[in-house]
């Protein structure tokens, strides 16, 4: 699939309040995407699922079908909370990237995996918005870096042998790695701040905003 115009179909189990929607789940979105041809794909918002939904399995299935088009990254505790991505369930975010990376190495799924549209879709009602977005980006980078560390040949061998514990160990060992030194090294090579949150704090931007007078006409 090329990077031309696509139609990404989003779904949501309920909204507003607790009312049913026309596109209530990924299956319905996928159904309509199929009727639109190759340019129709599904957009996965991490908060648009019932409690306990295995989102990474949905991601793996849509990748296999060539129908995963994009993400709205956020996190949820109860419903569509739009919290900072990775703040509630970092393991889920890591497993999503694990599935994407695995698919990018599979000739059947590689095109789909490499053309995913990524977007942060969050509502920062308590946190200052810029630091919250920086934290979101850092959480995404960390999860992606950990997913790259999965020993996929060893994982494939364990899966082929039906060794569930060995397969789980391959994945969990990568998740438990501290990738901070790796990310710091990469940022230094790129010539950007090694600690983005600290760099932003030192700009004094938040203090300037806090001291700014409201525009004329505001109450």
Residues 110-130 have pLDDT tens digits of 999 999 999 999 999 999 999
**Cα gap 73→161, rounded to integer Å:** 34
> Does the pLDDT of residue 167 top 90, yes or no?
yes
> Does the pLDDT of residue 217 top 90, yes or no?
no
Exposed / middle / buried, residue 201 (Cβ in 10 Å: 0-12, 13-18, 19+): middle
Instruction: Provide the percentage of residues in the chain whose pLDDT is more than 70.
Output: 95
Residues 85-116 have pLDDT tens digits of 999 999 999 999 999 999 999 999 999 999 99
The domain made up of 7-208 is a member of CATH 3.20.20.150: yes
pLDDT of residue 214: 55
**Cα gap 12→121, rounded to integer Å:** 14
Phi, psi (deg, nearest 5) at residue 155: -65, -45
Residues 18-27 have pLDDT tens digits of 888 999 999 9
> Does the pLDDT of residue 1 top 50, yes or no?
no
Query: Which has the higher per-residue pLDDT, 15 or 217?
Result: 15
Instruction: Provide the percentage of residues in the chain whose pLDDT is more than 90.
Output: 87
Q: Give, in order, the Cα–Cα distances in Å from 163 to each of 154, 168, 169.
A: 11, 9, 10
Residues 59-95 have pLDDT tens digits of 999 999 999 999 999 999 998 999 999 999 999 999 9
* CA neighbor of 84 nearest in space, from 44, 140, 38, 154: 140
* CA neighbor of 148 nearest in space, from 195, 80, 98, 198: 98
Q: What are the sequence ranges of the domains in the chain?
A: 7-208
* CB burial readout 162-178, b (16+ within 10 A) else e: eeeeebeebbeebbeee
Tell me the whole-structure pTM to 2 decimals: 0.91
């Amino acid at each position: 699939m090329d990077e031309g115009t696509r139609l990404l179909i989003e779904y949501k189990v309920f909204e507003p309040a607790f009312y049913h929607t026309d596109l209530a789940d990924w299956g319905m979105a996928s159904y309509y995407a199929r009727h639109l041809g190759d340019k129709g794909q599904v957009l996965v918002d991490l908060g648009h699922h019932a409690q306990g939904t295995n989102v990474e399995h949905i991601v793996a299935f849509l990748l296999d079908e060539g129908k995963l088009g994009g993400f709205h990254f956020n996190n949820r505790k109860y419903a569509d909370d739009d919290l900072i991505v990775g703040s509630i369930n970092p393991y889920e975010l890591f497993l999503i990237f694990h599935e994407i990376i695995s698919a990018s190495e599979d000739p059947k799924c590689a095109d789909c995996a490499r053309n995913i549209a990524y977007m942060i879709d969050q509502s920062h009602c308590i946190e200052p918005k810029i630091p919250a977005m920086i934290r979101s980006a850092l959480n995404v980078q960390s999860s992606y870096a950990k997913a790259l560390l999965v020993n996929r040949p060893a994982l494939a061998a364990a899966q082929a042998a039906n060794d569930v514990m060995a397969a789980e160990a391959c994945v969990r060992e990568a998740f438990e790695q501290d990738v901070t030194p790796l990310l710091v090294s990469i940022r230094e090579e790129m010539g950007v701040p090694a600690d983005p949150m600290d760099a932003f704090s030192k700009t004094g931007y938040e203090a300037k905003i806090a001291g700014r007078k409201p525009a004329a006409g505001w109450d």
